Amino acid sequence: MLAPFSESFDMFIALAFCYLPPFIWFYFGYKASKSGSLVKKQKPGFPTGYYEYVESDENVSFWKTGQFYIGILWLFLGTLFFWAFLWPDHSDVWFVK
């Protein structure tokens, strides 16, 4: 069934490892953006420079979550890893006619 394109599932595992996790991180980033946030506030009775983090009901933007940045980084590095290292090395093995 897949013999003309691949003798094994290595390519599909590599594609899943490089391109699937960013979307999982984006999902977690979306959920985190809807769950409120921690804001830094001046501690009462302390001099300037003393802060505490308190929970806030305001939602942070999806673009400002750490999970979004991890997803973008994984997408960039996964693309680089796949096309620069895996594809040139195994394209002759994956697509043997």
Q: Are 56 and 39 in contact (CB under 8 A)?
A: yes
The domain of 28 spans 10-92
What integer pLDDT is reported at residue 25 of this predicted model?
96
d(CA 31, CA 51): 27
Query: How many domains are contained in the chain?
Result: 1
d(CA 89, CA 10): 12
What integer pLDDT is reported at residue 70 of this predicted model?
97
Residue 38 within a domain: yes
pLDDT in tens, the chain (97 residues): 445 555 667 778 888 999 999 999 999 999 988 877 777 888 888 887 788 888 887 788 899 889 999 999 999 999 999 888 877 776 666 565 5
Residue 31 within a domain: yes
Residue 43 within a domain: yes
Residue 3 within a domain: no
pTM of the model: 0.68
What integer pLDDT is reported at residue 92 of this predicted model?
65
